[in-house]
Structure 1
């Protein structure tokens, strides 16, 4: 159980650094498509090496797996990633992550409509807390008079991510998530590479900026994804979701420590409500012995 908890936290913290690397990429004068090209291609290369060493059989997907990966990697993921990184250009790095965490509300409502999943009382409690938290984040945005385009892009990233997760629920039926993830990342990298003008743009990067580009793939994608799957394998998805709520905390603290962005009290309250909305309705899970022990 402890190992799974640690893996969940590592994964969430790695995802939380995405807006930080986005801001560092802008400091290196990288374009949005260029940053995302590096993120996904470095991630695909690292994941390819890892799979070849550990699970080479997963690199032989069937046509259905490739088709699903193409839809997710050529449509949903590139658009969502573009909106998220574009938002980081004009609003504080933590804001897109905090707004993104409204997605549990969106996913719950979408699944209720599309898959007819029931909405329980604990689900309603979660939705109320997350909604209140996000309202405080928006209130902070209005207090700081943040750029409207950046806020709209943050909301768009959240909506598209919600649609993506809803589609993933269908796509993962009968699938091994590892090959699906690898080819999804590869397809997403290909899209951004075309839009960025090709992978040769990496030749003009300074050593510092090359480290930022590699960090996109290593920290925000490879470490985040591999530790996520390890956590799910050890303790299951419900526990992993609970422990992964350190992601917005990581984004806020890293923005403060690395980028010197202020933390307003209203933002802290909103962040606490978002985390409470995810954790409190699922506390009963912590009293249940997990099916898979470390």
Structure 2
């Protein structure tokens, strides 16, 4: 199997797993788990799993101070910010709505690629942004009075921070190995939420015991999802991983409908199609198959 198709499979696996996380988070919240407690537990336990894996695989950790600081920025600042915004939005608004707003992030990746990597933004990209914006308006039709605006803004903030995280991560993989990057991103994110949780007195473990089941599920999804995501980014372009990751909201929506009886009107359904279509449009090019470059790494 070529590197390209391996990257595709890794991206799809990661997205499928992360699509389950918001649902598991809802169950954990219902058991009395707070946002910071969940995020601290999630990343700390995930990092432990990854470091144990590194130990038994006898992989070396060769990090200088500069790369350690860069990984701290990636995990302890950027990803921690994304997670805080994303999980808080899921707690305030429905998980399906939070995920759909968040999934404007491929457009942000395209814009950042233009600014940082020099990739051109053509008319097709501009049109995709307009289509996605219209889709969001339709998606939120009739909900502006019923949905907390703070939750909507947090979901949008999560999209921006995750777009930055994706580009940043692709650059770090050129300096640090996949496994080491994943482990330290998880560790630094966990440390950040531990410190913030203590300072704000929002780190508590007085919740129902059954909630640990959902925390553990989220932990394993995080460890596996991180590895798969970064493997995909390493093998194929970040933009391709972004578009393939759009199966995540589909997974979340299906589970939300089944478990929480979430419903969407026809107008909102059209909005969903426009959001996904708009974000997808920037990746559709003529003779796209000829433009796919297989990694030689």
Q: Assess same fold via TM > 0.5.
A: yes
Runs of 5+ unmatched residues, structure 2: none
Residue 29 (1) aligns with residue 32 (2): yes
Correspondence 1:112 to 2:114: yes
Query: What's the CA shift for 1:29?
Result: 0.6
Selected match of 1:90 from 89, 92, 98: 92
Q: Which residue of 1 aligns with 2:73?
A: 71
With the length of structure 1 as denominator, give the TM-score of the two structures: 0.83
| Structure-2 separation of matches of 1:55 and 1:233 | 22
Supply the distance in 2 between the matched residues of 1:76 and 1:288 (Cα, whole angstroms).
31
> Who is 2:192 aligned against?
191
Structure number with the higher helix fraction is 1
**SS in structure 2 at match of 1:139:** coil
Deviations 1:77-119 (A, max 9, x none): 2222112111122211111211111223333334434554321
Q: 5+ residue gaps in structure 1?
A: none
Asked if the contact 1:107/1:166 (under 8 Å) is kept, the reply is yes
8 A contact 1:12–1:246 mirrored in 2: yes
Match of 1:99 in 2: 101
Residue by residue over 1:35-88, the C-alpha shift from the partner in whole angstroms, topping out at 9 and shown as x without a partner, is: 10111012111211222334612x332222211011222222222211211112
1:1-294 maps to which residues of 2 (within 5 A)?
A: 4-54=7-57, 56-57=59-60, 59-139=61-141, 141-142=143-144, 145-168=146-169, 170-197=171-198, 206-219=208-221, 221-232=222-233, 237=238, 239-283=240-284, 284-286=287-289, 291=294
Aligned residues between the structures: 288
Query: TM-score scaled to structure 2, two decimals?
Result: 0.82
Alpha-carbon distance between aligned partners in 2 of 1:140 and 1:251, rounded to the nearest angstrom: 21
Q: CA RMSD in A?
A: 3.0
Matched position secondary structure for 1:56: coil
